[in-house]
């Protein structure tokens, strides 16, 4: 099946032109178990060759490994052909343990310095705190990024996993290109307040977790066990009875997908693409086969009846388990 040309949109009212689907690179640095650098690099090249131009990373993914990997992969590409979205602020211990968040202006300038070097670029397209720092006013963090924009090291301010009040406070300091936040068929919490506020302010959405960490796919069976270094080993939605119950929703979606000649993952992506042109999807694919499957969703059109059937098959209020473990949920300003 031929993949159609990927549509590009402006990210929010003030952001860059990006492909409707971007590549999330986190899984290329061990968050879902071992990854292969050669295959990851080939996937990055294939994504850019397909017309996808948005690559999302974090300076703490693999303690810098992810940025180094991306930097090598894009080294021979024209800089303007790649839109780099970088999260900062996450602190990691040598053993990989999470050490909290530091969004102080002095810290983010330091983080940026290392990101520029690892990525091998002169500027970051979208720079965003990965989480809200409870000890640093968002106005201070956004103001510091605005100064970096003035200096030419950053092009746009982004946010991640913050709530409506924080979005308003940030936007009062500097235009916010986009909010990166989890949004999928079974994670629709942003629809109540956060999405309307973003649309009011002209802030785009980059939706991650569109496949709910792979749950909305054909990858798992009841009783699946995950390696200790796999994020899903600690995710409530993948534990015991929760996984069994959630896979019942996936089986219901699989029947609809089969009628469309699609996979469950493609159906979930196609659904998300109908939610508005101001919503850009960041899909994590660390292998070319998964990238090909992702892009195949662009061939799927869904009418009103099909959308209703999909939402009835997997109601968001029927999913079992929170999207993060309790300690991580407590860190999310977007969930307050």
- The residues assigned a catalytic role are 61
Sign of the CA dihedral 269, 272, 274, 278? negative
Contact 309, 256 (CB under 8 A): yes
How many whole angstroms separate alpha carbon 144 and alpha carbon 109?
A: 8
**Can you name the residues that pair with 204 across neighbouring β-strands?**
178
Contact 59, 67 (CB under 8 A): yes
What is the phi/psi pair of residue 181, to 5°?
-155, 155
How many whole angstroms separate alpha carbon 59 and alpha carbon 113?
A: 11
Q: Residue 321 has which token pair?
A: 């388990």
Tokens 């290109």 identify what position?
A: 177
Q: What is the DSSP annotation of 228-245? A: TTBGGGG-GGGSHHHHHH
């Amino acid at each position: 099946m031929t993949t159609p040309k990927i549509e590009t949109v402006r990210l929010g009212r003030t952001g860059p032109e990006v492909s409707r689907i971007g590549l999330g690179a986190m899984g290329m640095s061990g968050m879902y178990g071992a990854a292969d650098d050669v295959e990851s690099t080939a996937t990055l090249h294939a994504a850019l060759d397909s017309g996808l131009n948005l690559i999302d990373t974090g300076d703490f993914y693999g303690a810098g490994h992810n940025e180094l990997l991306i930097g090598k992969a894009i080294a021979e590409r024209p800089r303007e052909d790649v839109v780099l979205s970088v999260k900062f602020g996450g602190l990691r211990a040598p053993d990989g343990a999470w050490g909290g968040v530091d969004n102080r202006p002095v810290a983010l300038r330091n983080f940026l310095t290392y990101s520029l070097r690892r990525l091998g670029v002169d500027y970051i397209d979208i720079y965003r705190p990965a989480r809200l720092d409870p000890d640093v006013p968002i106005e201070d963090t956004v103001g510091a990024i605005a100064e970096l924009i003035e200096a030419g090291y950053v092009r746009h301010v982004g946010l991640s996993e913050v709530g409506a009040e924080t979005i308003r406070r940030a936007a009062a300091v500097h235009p916010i290109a986009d909010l990166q936040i989890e949004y999928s068929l079974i994670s629709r919490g942003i629809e109540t307040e956060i999405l309307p506020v973003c649309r009011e302010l002209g802030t785009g959405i980059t939706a991650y977790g569109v496949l709910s960490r792979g749950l909305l796919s054909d990858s798992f069976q009841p009783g699946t066990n995950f390696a200790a270094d796999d994020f899903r080993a600690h995710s409530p939605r993948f534990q015991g009875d929760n996984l069994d119950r959630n896979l019942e929703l996936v089986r219901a979606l699989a029947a609809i997908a089969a009628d469309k000649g699609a996979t469950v993952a493609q159906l979930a992506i196609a659904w998300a693409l109908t939610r508005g042109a101001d919503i850009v999807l960041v899909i994590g694919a660390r292998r070319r086969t998964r990238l090909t499957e992702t892009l195949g969703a662009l061939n799927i059109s869904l009418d009103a009846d099909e959308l209703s059937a999909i939402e009835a098959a997997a109601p968001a209020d029927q999913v079992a388990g929170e999207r993060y473990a309790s300690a991580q949920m407590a860190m999310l300003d977007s969930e307050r």
